[in-house]
């Protein structure tokens, strides 16, 4: 039986409350905040006006407030950027100090938490909230808890962050600014469409025009994909080559008991060519997950 594990990732929470909390967030972020309920959580992003990535976060609701789970070392920046748009909106943005972000995974982890087996399904748990990762089935769950007592009572034990990283990377899931360059990354290059991080019917939000144009005009030239790694682990940002030409850049990577895996932002033309991908003496093998939708290869 697969062990039920949890980690405390470097993430923290913001709380958005007040009678205008929905309309305030709705005009800013890439997903439809109106769909967030005590029974459902979402993944979303904040963009520049030019449609470039600034922050990604998960949004859950409890006790009439929204909880946003963002990168711990960039949470102040997220709060500052949201506050710039608050103006006269009756909404309050606060850092949550009495709860911690927890990631839980393992076979039957979702049922062990009493959640429906559905991406984004949410429920109260252990004095906080738990929800199945809204991006992808099999990615585990996230919890916002005062402590881990209830989680351990449900059979979970403290796990190895590297083990979760191997799961996350093998599934092709980005981890904030580790994998998406701030002020540069485009959502659709990083799986936000297939991973339910963008709502195409919600109306205007910051960066919406470029994001929509990228989708409907087929402007994607790169994709973030898992790669198998044979050789020394490349550094994040290392240039990937194919036939002597630049083919992409490395993002996060982790060693493993069988083989190392990483995420790489790869040029689609390099993927289509089938050329060998290398970083120095290290050879990379693309491992395209089933959920990824790549453009059809152009006929010769």
The predicted-structure confidence for 32-67, as pLDDT tens digits, reads as follows 999 999 999 999 999 999 999 999 999 999 999 999
- pLDDT of 2 above 90: no
Model confidence band, residue 273 (pLDDT cutoffs 50, 70, 90): very high
Are domains 5-160 and 176-286 of this chain identical in fold?
no
210-269: pLDDT as tens digits: 999 999 988 899 999 999 999 999 999 999 999 999 999 999 999 988 889 999 999 999
Classify domain 176-286 at the CATH class level. mainly beta
Its CATH architecture, for the domain 5-160, is 2-Layer Sandwich (3.30)
Model confidence band, residue 297 (pLDDT cutoffs 50, 70, 90): low
Which residues are paired to 261 by β-bridges?
228, 254
Model confidence band, residue 1 (pLDDT cutoffs 50, 70, 90): very low
- pLDDT of 300 above 60: no
**% of the chain with per-residue pLDDT over 90:** 94
Query: What are the sequence ranges of the domains in the chain?
Result: 5-160, 176-286
């Amino acid at each position: 039986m697969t062990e039920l594990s949890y980690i405390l990732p470097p993430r923290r929470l913001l709380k958005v409350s007040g009678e205008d909390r929905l309309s305030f967030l709705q005009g800013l972020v890439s997903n439809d905040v109106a769909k967030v309920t005590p029974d459902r959580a979402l993944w979303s992003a904040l963009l520049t006006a030019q449609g470039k990535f600034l922050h990604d976060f998960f949004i859950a609701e409890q006790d009439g407030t929204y909880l946003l789970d963002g990168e711990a070392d960039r949470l102040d920046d997220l709060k500052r950027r949201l506050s710039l748009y608050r103006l006269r909106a009756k909404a309050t943005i606060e850092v949550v100090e009495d709860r911690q972000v927890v990631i839980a995974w393992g076979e039957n982890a979702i049922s062990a938490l009493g959640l429906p087996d559905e991406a984004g399904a949410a429920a109260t748990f252990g004095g906080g909230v738990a929800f199945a990762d809204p991006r992808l089935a099999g990615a585990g769950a996230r919890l916002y808890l005062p402590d881990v007592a209830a989680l351990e009572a449900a059979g979970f034990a403290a796990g190895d962050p590297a083990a979760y990283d191997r799961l996350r990377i093998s599934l092709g899931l980005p981890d904030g600014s580790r994998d998406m360059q701030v002020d540069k990354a485009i959502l659709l290059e990083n799986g936000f469409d297939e991973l339910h991080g963008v709502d195409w019917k919600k109306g205007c939000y910051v960066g919406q025009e470029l994001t929509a144009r990228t989708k409907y005009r087929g402007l994607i030239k790169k994709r973030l994909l898992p790669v198998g790694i044979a050789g020394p682990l490349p550094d994040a940002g290392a240039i990937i080559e194919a036939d002597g030409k630049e083919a992409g850049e490395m993002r996060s990577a982790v060693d493993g008991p069988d083989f190392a895996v990483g995420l790489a932002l790869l040029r689609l033309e390099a993927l289509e060519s089938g050329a060998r991908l290398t970083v120095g003496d290290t050879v990379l093998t693309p491992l395209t997950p089933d959920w990824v939708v790549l453009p059809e290869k152009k006929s010769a």
